[in-house]
Structure formats: structure tokens, C-alpha cells
Structure 1
Amino acid sequence: MSRPIPIEEMVRVFKSRHRTSHLFKIDNFSLFKKYQLEKVNSSVFDLGGHKWTLRVFPNGRKNASGHYVSIFLMSQSSVNVKIEYELFVVSQLEQKWESSGHREFGIHPKPTGKGNPKLISLVDLERNGYLIGDSCMCGVKLHGIEPAESGTAECFSLIEKPLNHKVTWMMTRFSSFEPEKAHHSHQFVENSSEGFINNASKTETYAKFKLRVLDQVNRNHVEKTCSGWLETSKGFADFMCLTKLVEPYLVNDKLYVGVDFEVVSVATYC
């Protein structure tokens, strides 16, 4: 099954025709099942004078009739007017979408979510041209609001073994480090494509990675695997006992620690 036009052109045309919409393209769709990711959130976007995110359950929620992709529109603050919205998945074979229909997002004093837990079955997603080349396009359109110059769109993807997936920090003069104080390496960006840093959308980052203390003699490193959404730091408070920080790990007052990414999420505007 192949697309009639490249997906990048589809995104461009969609934004020009649907100027009150936000498109959320998910690449490497099958990796969400492989890494058992239940859901993914878009970046925060502005439509109709309010800020929103999309929450997608790509692996589907199961009921008696099968697995269904679920999509929800999440407000980020109070909503003071009634807004008509439509959630959808875009066909990559013809100009149509699978829609939840027009629904009303009522007045809510606090952030909340509205959506469809059974937007489309996983079977129909794959069989009817909504999932091609391991890419899927979903989104939301608001009705009855002033259109912008263009709709907006972003791409979210999981990347296995990204470029420069190993990062090592050499801690010199280790004995001078205060034992009760946290110490930090320089910041680094685990990017997977050129232009990612300048074109990155502000979404949560998912990663599965190994934290490591390097054996400088035998290369028998101490490693532990961690995974999850990196809203804050993730790791192990009891990674390695300080009494074990001797040779071959600590040599000439130098200690090497690092991280090895197995998979990391990438988000860009498109």
C-alpha cells in the first residue's frame, strides 16, 4: 500500500485547507507497542484563543469488539465558552478522514479532557489506509472560530539507537567532590536528525536508557536500565555503593559515568 503523494505534501495541503486545526503526525507507530507506551501527548497548541494538547492512545483500548485508537482533546486552563470540536484520523490514500463527529467542549473552570475512546479500530487503521509506512496522522479541528493563516502540525516519533546514543561524563579530581551534594554534567541534547534542536516542539520526552559506571580496566561496566517519560529526572538513588568506587571504576581520581539510549522520542513542528 502506497500513498498517492508524499506525506510531507499531505501535511502541507492539510494545513492550508484546515486553518482551524492541529495535526499530530505519529511516526514509527509500531514502536509504541514494542515499548509498551500506553499514551502520548502532543505539544501545547493554541486554537480558538485557548491552549490545548491532544492525548492519543496508539495501542488502542480493548473492548469486546477489538482494540480501538483513542484520542482526547485536553484543555490546559479554564474554558469560558462552548466550543465545537472534531477529532479525526486522516486517510493517506484519499481526501477523507475518520471523524468523531462534531462535539461540544462545554464551559469548564478547570483543565479537563473530552474525546473518543473508540475513534477507529486498529484493524481499520491498518486496512483502510490510515496507517501507511508506519506513520499515522490524527488531529483536532475547531468549528465556528476565526481561521488562522494556516493550521498547525507537529511530528512525534520514537527513534531506536539515535545518533550519538552514548554520552560519557569524565569526573576528574573525584575526591574533591562533596559527597552530600548533587553534581551535574554539562547539558547535552540527544538529537536524531539535523535541525531538531531549532525545530523542536515542547513535548514530554520518552526514553529507555542504561545508566552506567564505567570499568576503566576490564570494561565490565555497572549498568542499570531505566525508562519512562522524562518530566523530571529518572534514575536510581542506590545505583552503586560508594565503598565500591575503587579501581577499576575509580582510577587516578577519575570516574567515568554515562548513559546509553536504546530509544528516545523526537518531536518537531512540520
Structure 2
Amino acid sequence: MALFSVDSKEAVVSRTIRDEPPTHFELRIKSFSLLLESSLERYDSGNFEAGGYKWKLCLYPKGNKDVNGEEGHISLYLEILETDSLSPGWEVHALFRFFVLDQRRDKYLTLQDANGKARRFRASKTQSGFDRLISLNEFNDPTNGYVVKDTCVFGAEVFVQKESVAGKGECLLITAGPVSCNHTWKIKKFSELVGESHFSEVFTASGHKWRVNVWPKGNAEEKGKNLSLFLELNDSTTLPPGRGVYVEAQLRVVDQVNGKHMERKLQKWFNNSTNVWGWGSFLFLDSLRDQSEGFLVKDVCIIEAHLLIIGAIEKQGQKSE
């Protein structure tokens, strides 16, 4: 016969007795009284495997104060581990049971959701369990046999019922450190450049090819007013559909005299439809030509591209297992 108790507003706990030990994991704690007296609020067990996934138990011997703010109960949770390798939007539905050994009768108090419904684990909620698994008064009562010679035993069984990837999503992977690449473009005889637009040499950063595009006299409505400067993903046509590259970068025109460089930062996704980003009004032409400002020295202009962070994004289709 099953007994029921209220764990929280969302869960009713079914309590049954059985002879068989837990199938997947058992946690034995010695000197339980010292654990209660210590400042340790939470204990994480070692890892164990069930249903093709790695798990651990998270035990709050004096109760999880962050959840219900009440002492007097033991809180116990199941947490899924090693989820980095799972697809974006992953969900694992698992039915689990917790156990407390009655050492005097050699039987297990078994606790689980009364409705038998599986709990859902996902990236935003990797942990689930019971805020009030059992009261400390009941647990420490010697007639119940849960604590004998200051030793107690907890256990867990986990049965995965369903695995899925919900809808469509994206996978973002940062593939470089905080400084990915520095590229310097030294343009000689700048005032003699022929043509409206000029490109730097192609350079490679994080496996992709890039180049800087300068318009010495400005492009579009900025023509005759500002120098225009852009960063271009040179191999964007090789990206598969739905794939993009994220960049945080600085473009800079170097002040060769005073060290007061003109620079701007960009944060942008580059893909096969948007492969260029920058500023039409990067630097006033009057400032560029003013010798005292140091942007043009002996008819040499120095442009730097500083790629700070590079990541890749790949859209994931719907998947269900």
C-alpha cells in the first residue's frame, strides 16, 4: 500500500516499502550527525550511469534553504551531467525513484512522484527532485531505522522514457580566445591610390579568410566627406546554408604621431548573405589630411584589424529520438 505526502505545490510524493535495493546507485553516509553539525549545506555524490546518461545526487542534509526557506527536512535532487555533447534544444524525460534504507528491517523506503509522470531535464533545468524528501524528525527517529550507528543509506533508480530535441535551434561555438588575430595594412602613396575602393591582402583567422576594404574618399553619401572602412568575410560563399561566423573586432586607423588612434568596434554575424560590415563615416577626410593628427605620414596610412572573438553558428533542424 502506498502512502502519499506533499513535497511542494507541484509534487506529491508516493512512499512505498520494498525489499530490493536500488538498481543504479547507493550513497552511504557515515557520521551523519557530524554532517548536520558542519557548515556543509550540500553534498554532491559521485557520478553514475543510467539510461545512457551520467547523473549524480545532490543532497541537502538540512534542507535546501534557497527553495523553501525552511529547515527540518532533507532535500534530495537528481542532476544530469555531461550535457555539452547533446544537441541544442535537448530534453530528457526520466522517471526516478529515491530510496532510504531502513537498516533495522532491511527494507527500503521508496519515494517518487505519486502521479508516475516523468520529470523533464533540459539545458535550463538540469536538476529535479524533492525539496522535502523526508523530515529530519522522522529520519532521526531510531524506531524507523534510517540512521543506525550514525550511518544512513540513500539510493536512486533512473529510467529514461524519452529523448528529444525540441524544434529548431542554433549551436554557438566560440572557437578562439580573447585575441584571435591582428592584421596590419600599411598603405604607401595613399594620396595616389586610383579607384574608389581598395582591399587589403587576405588573412586567415579561426579558419576563415578575411580582408579589409577602404574607400579613401568615402562611399555613397559619405563621398568627399569621410574615409569609409569595412571588414569582409572573404570566403562567405563556402559557408553551408544556415551557417554563420560571429566576430567582435576593432578596425583602426593608426595615429602615427600622437598615438590617438581612430578606432571603432563591431559585433556582427557574418554569413553568405551578409559578408561585409563597417562604417561609411569612419574618419573625417579633413582629419585624415591634417598632418598634425598623424593619420597620414609621408603619404603612408596604416590600418589595423583586430579580431577579438570568433565563433561559429549552425542551425539545427528538428530531431526526435
TM-score bin (small chain): 0.3 to 0.5
Higher relative contact order (CA 8 A, sep 6+): 1
What is the TM-score normalised by the length of structure 1? 0.42
The structure that is strand-richer by fraction is 2
Structure with the greater alpha carbon radius of gyration: 2
What is the TM-score normalised by the length of structure 2? 0.36
